[in-house]
Chains A and B, each alone.
Chain A
C-alpha cells in the first residue's frame, strides 16, 4: 500500500521546509502524489485536469505550509486542498459545458468509450453527498485506502469510517433508485 500510515517523519520534513530546505518537500510529494492524483482523476474524469489539480494542491500546500497543523497528518490537509481544487474545477466547467456533461463524459480515462449509464449516474450522485460521506467514498474507492488509513486521514475512529461508508452507500443507492441523478 502506497500510503504509509505511520509517517512519523512528516513533522520533521515540514520543519525543514519551513527552515528553507525546499528539497525536504520532495519526500512528501513522492509519498502522496499517487493517491491524490488517483482521487482527482476519478473525481474529475479527466487525467489532464487531475494532473493540474494535484500540482496546484501541492504548490498551494507548499506556499501555506506554515499554516499546516503539524499535529495532524499532512495528507488530511492536502487532501482537503485537493478536493476543493477539484470542486472548483468542476464548477468552472459549468458555464461552458455543464457539470452533468463533464461528469457524463470523462474524456481520457482508460476506457472512455465504455462508460455505462450507471457509472455516469453514480458519479453525479457522489457530488450530491454531504462532504463527510463523499470523503469516505472518495478515499475508499478512488484513493483506495483501507478503513484504518481513512480513519487516520480524517482523524476519526475506524468505526466512524464504517458508519459513514454505510450511510454514504445507502444514500447513493437512494439517489440512484429515485432517479434523482
Chain B
C-alpha cells in the first residue's frame, strides 16, 4: 500500500508543484514501485477525463458587455443593518468560537453570503447577548479587571446609542428579571463568550454601532430579547457545545447550504406562524438542543436533502408545519418524535439520508398521515433496526407511504411492534414484498384484526415465504385480504 506521503509526492509531481529537491525521490519511487506507477497512471487518466483538449478562451468583448450592463444598473445598495450585522456576526462567530473552544474554525467561501442559518442561530444568540451587554445589564470585562457583573460598572458600556436600545418595554424588563435570564448570566460558557476579546471587538465594531441607529434593528433586538423561549434555547450549554463542534460549524458554514436556506421558499416557510410556533415549542427545542441531532443535521446526506428543491417547496407549502402544529392536536407529537433517540439515530444513518433525498419520501413526509405515523412510539421502536430502515426506504414502500390508510395502520401499535422484529424486517427488505406493499389494495392493513394478526409470529414466518410474497402481488389475493373473514381466519390460524 502506497504511503500517504508518497501519494502526496506523486500528486505534487503530477500537479507541477514538486520542489527540485524532491525530483530524485519521485523518480526513485516511480522506478521501484509498481503501485506508484499505477497511481501516476490513474492521475493521468483522471486528467484525460477532466481536461479538454484545446484552450477555452474567453469570448471577445465579454468584459465590455458586462461593464455595459453594470453601467445600466443602479448603484449597489449600501449595506443595511442586517448585512452589516450578518458580516460582523460571521466574523465574530468564527473567531469567538475558536477562542472559546480552542478549535480552529473551518471557514470557506464567503461567510458573508446570505446565511440564514448563521443569521437565524448565531445572530440571535449574539444579538441577545450584545443587546444585554450594550444596555449595560451585562458589563464588559475591564482590562485588568475580574469580569465581575455588577450594577456599579454599568456606565462603562461603550459607544451605544442607549436611547435606541434601551429595553423599556415591560416584556423585556420582565425577561431580564426571569430565572432564564439569570441562568444565561451564570452560564460559564456565556461568561467566557462575553469576556472574550473577539466578542468585545464585535460589539464595539463601528458598523454594529451604526446598525444600532436603525429602528428595525432596535425593534428586532427588543423582539428577540423578549423571546423567553429563544433565550432558554441559547442558555442551554449543550446547544452551545453542539455549535462549537467542528462538524456542526462546518455544516452551518457550508455556503451551498446557506444559499439553499436563503432561497425564498425557505424564507416563506419560516415566515409561517405555525413553523415559528413549532420551533418555539419546548419539546422541539429540547430536540434541537440535542447534540446528536445537531450532528445528524451536519451530515452530508441531510444537507443534500435540504438542498432538494422539492423538500424546500414542501416545507414552504406548510404541510409539514401544519402537521407539526396543525388543527389535529395529535400532530404536535412530531416534536416529541424528533426528541426520540431512535429517530435521531435513524436520521444519522446513510440509508435514511439517502431516502430523505428521494422526492417520493419528501412528498410522503409532507402528509399529515405520515407525520402521525412518525409520532407513534411503536414506530419509533421499529426504527432501532437498521434493516427495518433499509426496508422502509425502498422506492416501493415510499410509494406505499403516500397512502393515507397505510400510514394510519402504521400508527397502530401492533403493526409497529411487528415491524421491530428481525423476521419482519428481513422480509420487508425483499424487493418483491415491497412492491406488493405499494399496491393500493394493501389498505386492508388498516383493519384492526389484520394488524393484530401481523404482530403474530406465524405471520412473520409466512411472510418470509417466496410463495406468499408472490401471492401478495396478485390482485385476487389483495381482494381476499380486504375481506374481514380472511383476516379472522388468519387470526384463528395464529391461535
**A residues engaging B (CB < 8 A)?**
17-18, 20, 22-23, 25-26, 29-30, 33-34, 37-38, 41-42, 47, 50-51, 54-55, 58-59, 62-69, 71-72, 76-77, 79-80, 84, 106, 109-111, 114-116, 118-123, 126, 130-132, 135, 137, 140-142, 146-147, 154-156, 162, 165-166, 169, 172-173, 176
CB contacts (< 8 Å) of A172 on chain B: these are 46
Set B53, B73, B90: member contacting A69, Cβ < 8 A: B90
Q: Which residue from B11, B75, B112, B256 sits with its C-beta under 8 Å from A20? A: B75
A-B contact pairs, 6 of them (CB 8 A): A22-B71, A51-B59, A55-B69, A67-B112, A123-B49, A155-B109
**B416 proximal to A (CB < 8 A):** no
Bound form: Cα–Cα A162–B10 in Å: 11
**Bound complex: CA of A169 vs CA of B449, how far in Å?**
56
Nearest opposing residue in chain A for B260, CB measure: A84
- Docked CA distance A165–B8 (Å): 9
Please give 10 more A-B residue pairs, beta carbons under 8 A apart, in addition to A29-B66, A141-B50, A166-B7: A18-B78, A42-B50, A51-B62, A58-B70, A69-B112, A80-B259, A110-B55, A123-B50, A155-B109, A166-B8
B112 engages A77 (CB within 8 Å): yes
* Shortest Cβ gap from B97 to chain A (Å): 16
Among B56, B59, B65, B70, point to the contact of A109 (Cβ < 8 A): B56
The answer, among B17, B76, B109, for a CB contact under 8 Å with A76, is B109
Q: Is B106 an interface residue (CB 8 A)?
A: yes
Q: Is the CB of B67 within 8 A of A77?
A: no
Interchain CA distance A155-B112 in the complex, whole Å? 13
CB distance from B34 to the nearest CB of A (A): 17
B50 touches A110 (CB 8 A): no
Residue of chain A at shortest CB distance from B113: A80
With A66-B76, A69-B87, A169-B11 known as contacts, the answer to whether A121 contacts B67 (CB < 8 A) is no
CA gap between A93 and B43 in the complex, in Å:
30
User: A57 CB to closest chain B CB, in angstroms?
Assistant: 10
A65 with B56: CB separation less than 8 A: no
The 3 closest A-B pairs by CB, nearest first: A122-B49, A110-B54, A69-B112
Q: Is the CB of A18 within 8 A of B11?
A: no
Instruction: Tell whether, in the assembled complex, residue A72 and residue B111 are in contact, meaning their CB atoms are under 8 Å apart.
Output: yes
Q: CA of A139 to CA of B59 in the docked complex: distance in angstroms?
A: 20
**Residues on B with beta carbons closer than 8 Å to the beta carbon of A42:** 50, 52, 56
Report how far A109 CA is from B53 CA in the complex, Å.
Answer: 9
**Quick check: B11 and A110 within 8 Å, CB to CB?**
no
Partner of B78, one of A22, A47, A66, A140: A66
The verdict on B20 contacting chain A, using a C-beta distance below 8 Å, is: no
Known contacts A59-B73, A66-B79, A126-B50; A72/B56 CB under 8 A: no
Task: Assess the B11–A166 pair: CB atoms within 8 A.
Answer: yes
Residue pair B67, A67 in contact (C-beta under 8 Å): no
Inside 8 A of B78's CB, which chain A residues have their CB? 18, 66
Chain B residues near A119 (CB, 8 Å)? 48-50, 52
Assess whether B144 is interfacial by the CB under 8 Å rule.
no
Q: Which of B58, B83, B110 contacts A66 (CB 8 A)?
A: B83
In contact, A173 and B46 (Cβ under 8 angstroms): yes
Kindly list chain A residues whose C-beta atoms are within 8 Å of the C-beta of B15: 140, 146-147, 165
Is residue B277 within 8 Å, beta carbon to beta carbon, of the partner chain? no
On whether A77 and B110 interact (CB within 8 A), knowing A118-B49, A166-B7, the answer reads: yes
- In the complex formed, the residue of A with least CB distance to B43 is A169
Taking the complex as formed, is B172 at the interface, i.e. its CB lies under 8 A from any CB of chain A? no
A154 and B254 CA atoms in complex are apart in Å by 12
State whether A18 and B76 are in contact (beta carbons under 8 Å apart), knowing that A58-B66, A155-B108 are contacts in the complex. Answer: yes
A67-B83, A69-B112 given; A22·B91 CB < 8 A: no
Rounded to whole angstroms, the CA-CA distance of A116 and B67 in the bound complex is 38
Contacting residues, chain B, for A142 (C-beta < 8 A): 50
CA distance A22 to B67 in the complex (A): 8
| Complexed CA–CA distance, A67 and B7 (Å) | 40
Contact of A111 among B47, B54, B114 (CB under 8 A): B54
Complex Cα gap A169–B7 (Å): 11
Contacts of A50 in B (CB 8 A): 56
Which chain A residues lie closer than 8 Å to B254 at the CB level? Answer: 131
Q: Is the CB of A156 within 8 A of B108?
A: yes
In contact, B65 and A55 (Cβ under 8 angstroms)? yes
Give the docked Cα–Cα distance between A22 and B58 (Å): 22
Collect the chain A residues with CB atoms within 8 Å of residue B111's CB.
69, 72
B27 to chain A, nearest CB (A): 20
